[in-house]
Amino acid sequence: MRIMLKKIICCSVCVLSISSVVLAAEVYPSKIEYVENGGITEIHKIYELKADEDPSTIPRYSFEQNGYKYILKDIIEKEIPNFETKEYTESITVESQTNKIEDILPLIPVQKDITTEDGFSGTMELDISTIDVQSKGTGTSSYTITATRIYPNLAGADLQYIPKTTVENGNTLQFSSVRWQTDNTENVDGYAIADRYTAVVTYSGTGTKSYRKGYTVTAEYKGTLSKTSVDITEYTAVFGGEKLEVEVVNVNDFKWQYGLIPLGGIAVALIAVGLYKLKKKGARKNEDFDKKPDEKIEEESQYNYVGLSDSDDNADTSIRS
């Protein structure tokens, strides 16, 4: 019996524990509305659930309230958009060959469409006051320098008459090539023989020059970005009400058989009491029958003279004799 009782208690505790978990998992409405729909009373229980909440936890069981029984008819789902805005600034960097603002502005759009990593987007405006131009420094480059020199009236077409170097804009150039021209001829034995020459000499060399590497331009775009997200879904549990019927008992329809049940119980109780008293009385008679005559007389005298005191002992003795 004890083992069976322990099992029943354990099962009850388990059922209560499971019920507690289920109840704890249920969600609660954020708002309750009472609606009349075509003559039917409805209760709308509105739940606002986040994306990580399970809509199956919405209670669906029927309930009674104010004389009505409410039964779930439908669950309506509606997404609630969440509109957010924020002020935003974004910097950009471009390269320019000059530091003149008229050359820089075409490189930077007046407006810019921006979308951030967290989903905000919008069109932003260029803040001209934030434009900043910084030089990238200078560099040097080499280039080839060439120069031409003409040397006329030379006695012969011989390189010994030509200088091997020359100077051009401060740069020393080296002999590169020569082109000879005849300036004059002499008739010797009927032949025209050149006796004067002009040398056209080309000199070349390498020069260096410095230059600016360019400019770095930074600017800022400013504006308001927005984002629309669906973080909350609204669920409306619609319960339709049905009026409860109150059962009225008609006295005329009362069955006489039902009245006999309590009456029968009372009769049985009375019979039991009567039988107990009769049995007790019969037991007392049997005791009197078994007593001796002298005991009976003594007992009767006790009943008959209970009011006598100790001084009346003589009278009592005479009566018994």
Q: Which of 41, 45, 13 is nearest to 26 (CA)?
A: 45
* Domain interval for residue 154: 139-212
- pLDDT of residue 203 exceeding 80: yes
Q: Quick check: is 285 in a domain?
A: no
pLDDT score, position 214:
92
pLDDT tens, residue by residue, 94-128: 999 999 999 999 999 999 999 999 999 999 999 99
Cα atoms in the 13 Å half-sphere on the side-chain side of 131 = 21
pLDDT tens, residue by residue, 158-192: 899 999 999 998 899 999 999 998 877 666 565 65
Q: How large is the average pLDDT for residues 208-222?
A: 92
pLDDT score, position 91:
95
Q: How large is the average pLDDT for residues 133-155?
A: 92
pLDDT score, position 10:
47
Residue 12's pLDDT band (cuts 50, 70, 90): very low
Q: Quick check: is 156 in a domain?
A: yes
State the Cα–Cα distance between residues 150 and 11, nearest whole angstrom: 123
pLDDT score, position 265:
58
Q: Which of 223, 225, 221, 222 is nearest to 84 (CA)?
A: 225
pLDDT score, position 40:
85
In the block, tokens 């199956």 appear at 56
Whole-prediction pTM: 0.44
pLDDT score, position 48:
93
Q: Quick check: is 25 in a domain?
A: no
Q: Quick check: is 204 in a domain?
A: yes
Relative to beta strand 191-212, strand 138-154 is antiparallel
Q: Quick check: is 295 in a domain?
A: no
As for how many domains the chain has, the answer is: 1
Q: Which of 173, 147, 172, 177 is nearest to 162 (CA)?
A: 177
- pLDDT of residue 153 exceeding 60: yes
Share of the chain above pLDDT 70, in %: 66
In the block, tokens 């930074």 appear at 218
Q: Quick check: is 283 in a domain?
A: no
More confident residue, 104 or 230: 104
Mapped onto helix, strand or coil, the DSSP state of residue 250 is coil
Share of the chain above pLDDT 90, in %: 49
Residues 6+ apart with CB under 8 A from 48: 30, 80, 232, 233, 234, 235
Q: Quick check: is 297 in a domain?
A: no
pLDDT score, position 88:
95
The mean predicted confidence, pLDDT, of the chain is 78
- pLDDT of residue 255 exceeding 90: no
State the Cα–Cα distance between residues 211 and 228, nearest whole angstrom: 52
121, β-bridge pairs: 115, 226
Minimum mean pLDDT among 16-20, 73-77, 88-92, 100-104: which range? 16-20
Q: Quick check: is 1 in a domain?
A: no
